[in-house]
Amino acid sequence: MSKVKVAAFSVSLDGFGAGADQSLEHPLGIRGGELHEWFYPTQRFQAMIGKTGGSSGIDNEFAERSFDNIGAWILGRNMFGPIRGPWLNDEWKGWWGDTPPYQVPVFVLTNHPREPIVMKGGTVFYFITDGIEAALEQARKAANGKDIRIGGGVSTIRQFLEKDLIDELHLAYSPVFLGTGENLLAGIDLPKMGFTTSKTVFGNGAVHVLLTKK
Amino acid sequence: MSKVKVAAFSVSLDGFGAGADQSLEHPLGIRGGELHEWFYPTQRFQAMIGKTGGSSGIDNEFAERSFDNIGAWILGRNMFGPIRGPWLNDEWKGWWGDTPPYQVPVFVLTNHPREPIVMKGGTVFYFITDGIEAALEQARKAANGKDIRIGGGVSTIRQFLEKDLIDELHLAYSPVFLGTGENLLAGIDLPKMGFTTSKTVFGNGAVHVLLTKK
CATH label of the domain that carries residue A118: 3.40.430.10
Tell me which residue range forms the domain holding A75: 4-209
Contacts of B178 in chain A (CB under 8 A): 191
**Predicted pLDDT at A11:** 98
Backbone angles phi, psi at A10, to 5 degrees: -90, 140
**Predicted pLDDT at B23:** 82
**Predicted pLDDT at A214:** 75
**Predicted pLDDT at A59:** 98
What letter would DSSP give residue A94?
-
State pLDDT tens for residues A195-207: 999 999 999 999 9
Residue of A nearest to B11 (CA): A13
Question: For A192, which of B179, B195, B197 is closest by C-beta distance?
Answer: B179
Number of domains in chain B: 1
B172: helix, strand or coil: strand
**Predicted pLDDT at A82:** 86
Judge whether B22 lies within some domain.
no
Contacts of B195 in chain A (CB under 8 A): 177
Cβ A197–B207 below 8 Å, yes or no?
Answer: no
Judge whether B118 lies within some domain.
yes
Helix, strand, coil fractions of chain B, as percent rounded to 5: 20, 30, 50
Backbone angles phi, psi at B148, to 5 degrees: -115, 125
Residues B89, B136 contacting (CB under 8 angstroms) = no
Cβ B207–A211 below 8 Å, yes or no?
Answer: no
> pLDDT truncated to tens, each residue of chain B (214 aa)?
799 999 999 999 999 999 998 888 888 989 999 999 999 999 999 999 999 999 999 999 999 999 999 999 999 999 999 888 999 888 999 999 999 999 999 999 999 999 999 999 999 999 999 999 999 999 999 999 999 999 999 999 999 999 999 999 999 999 999 999 999 999 999 999 999 999 999 999 999 999 999 7
Judge whether B174 lies within some domain.
yes
Cβ A180–B186 below 8 Å, yes or no?
Answer: no
| B24 CB-near residues (< 8 Å, 6+ apart) | B82
Mutate to test the interface with A, among B177, B180, B198 (most CBs of A within 10 A): B177
**Predicted pLDDT at A195:** 98
Residues B1, B69 contacting (CB under 8 angstroms) = no
- HEC readout, B108-127: EECCCCCCCEECHHHCEEEE
**Predicted pLDDT at B135:** 98
**Predicted pLDDT at B26:** 86
Judge whether B91 lies within some domain.
no
**Predicted pLDDT at A10:** 98
Pick out chain A residues at pLDDT < 70.
none
B206–chain A Cβ distance below 8 A for any pair:
no
Distance (Å) from the alpha carbon of B196 to chain A's nearest alpha carbon: 8
A186–chain B Cβ distance below 8 A for any pair:
yes
B176–chain A Cβ distance below 8 A for any pair:
yes
Residues B31, B183 contacting (CB under 8 angstroms) = no
Judge whether A214 lies within some domain.
no
Residues B6, B157 contacting (CB under 8 angstroms) = yes
